[in-house]
Structure 1
Amino acid sequence: MSIIGTSLKPFSVQAYRQGKFVTVSDADVLGKWAIFFFYPADFTFVCPTELEDLADQHDTFARMGVEIYSVSTDTHFSHKAWHDTSPAIGKIRFTMLGDPAGTVTNNFGVMREGQGLADRATFVVDPQGVIQFTEITSEGVGRNAMELLRKVKAAQYIAAHPGEVCPAKWEEGEETLAPSLDLVGKI
């Protein structure tokens, strides 16, 4: 069964955010757009490149009203240690969820069986808590924050413009489509 169109499941976890430990729950996510950015583990190889790339776009996402939550099955203590020792991770200002019990990871269906690690996965959640987008890659394939930014802009656009859809490679300001009987077989 697809997770697209389903609602966030309840969770409450400890997190590291801008020098503090905080508790984050599903209720904190509601009312704004959110990205859940799962990665296998702190102190690894591809993960810091992805998180740094996302950190570099943090201000742009924030201006769009998007909260970013990175998630691994490490603890919030591990996230702080990584943040304090890695120049790449030290750039992060978004919330880093600790999920050692695997609650959030299992809620999104991205726990690696028998490993206790999250898949490399991204979810975009709308302000009502409904999952609008997912992407899961293999272990060695890093994600691109600019492509994620484009997809979030498209998701926000179609949410604000019912009856329109964004075609392939759509960029903000470009033409959209209004699906209708007249378009069938003409694209």
Structure 2
Amino acid sequence: MSNRILSIGSQFPQFNKKAAVSIEQGKEFKDLSNADLKGQWAVLFWWPKDFTFVCPTEIAEFNKKYDEFSDRDTLLIGASTDSEFVHAAWRRDHKDLKDLKFPMLADTSKSLAEELGILDEAEKIAYRATFIIDNEGIIRWVSVNDLNVGRNVQEVIRVLDALQTDELCPCNWNKGEATLTQQLDPSLN
């Protein structure tokens, strides 16, 4: 891979893409852009290709945890370099994807994946990358897996919780536990 992965502290790139949002005829697609992220946290996760084997397991797990992201005022967006039409067909075809609660972004030009530095040079598909973006549009966490290894959705939620505390969080910290900031200053408890 020749591109460098856009990392923590970087502004999330500008984009305006089509997304598959429904399997209901006439309501399948929507435009999605940075304006949709404005003022709220977002988790944008990428998978390599539609109609594959590891990808639907991740997408289905993100969907099962959708309410946990929503409870954290966090927009959840899935993405790949496939078209919105392929996304819609996959949603109609795969039982675990029919009732998705989040949009499937179509980066058919591969421009966003390339700008993020997650486009596999040989295959021209996106790596399994996850970006947590804060309410100012700044990337706060990036995780990239090899093409054949699925990610841990619960870990994405754990990191989101830690980032949203804006405090020092120790290893394996989980929401509801004391942060290091609270341990250093007992008056915060």
Which of the residues 138, 143, 163 maps onto 1:135? 143
Which of the residues 151, 175, 178 maps onto 2:178? 175
Name the CA distance, whole Å, in 2 between partners of 1:5 and 1:132. 6
Structure 2 residue runs of 5 or longer lacking an equivalent are: 185-189
How far off its partner does 1:61 sit?
0.7
How far off its partner does 1:4 sit?
0.6
Name the CA distance, whole Å, in 1 between partners of 2:164 and 2:53. 32
Name the CA distance, whole Å, in 2 between partners of 1:9 and 1:149. 23
- What TM-score, normalized to structure 2? 0.88
Name the CA distance, whole Å, in 2 between partners of 1:91 and 1:18. 8
Name the CA distance, whole Å, in 2 between partners of 1:178 and 1:66. 24
Q: Which residue of 2 aligns with 1:165?
A: 168
Which of the residues 33, 42, 45 maps onto 2:53? 45
Structure 1 residue runs of 5 or longer lacking an equivalent are: 159-163, 183-187
Amino acid at match of 2:176: G
Name the CA distance, whole Å, in 2 between partners of 1:46 and 1:55. 15
Is the Cα–Cα contact under 8 Å of residues 18 and 94 in structure 1 kept in the other structure?
Answer: no
- Residue correspondences, number: 175
Name the CA distance, whole Å, in 1 between partners of 2:171 and 2:156. 14
How far off its partner does 1:146 sit?
1.3
RMSD: 1.6
Is the Cα–Cα contact under 8 Å of residues 41 and 134 in structure 2 kept in the other structure?
Answer: yes
Which of the residues 13, 18, 21 maps onto 1:14? 18
Name the CA distance, whole Å, in 2 between partners of 1:114 and 1:140. 15
Q: Which residue of 1 aligns with 2:187?
A: none
Is residue 80 of structure 2 the alignment partner of residue 72 of structure 1?
Answer: yes
Please give the secondary structure, in 1, of the residue aligned with 2:181. coil
Which of the residues 151, 161, 167 maps onto 2:159? 151
Name the CA distance, whole Å, in 1 between partners of 2:172 and 2:81. 33
- What TM-score, normalized to structure 1? 0.89
Is residue 32 of structure 2 the alignment partner of residue 29 of structure 1?
Answer: no
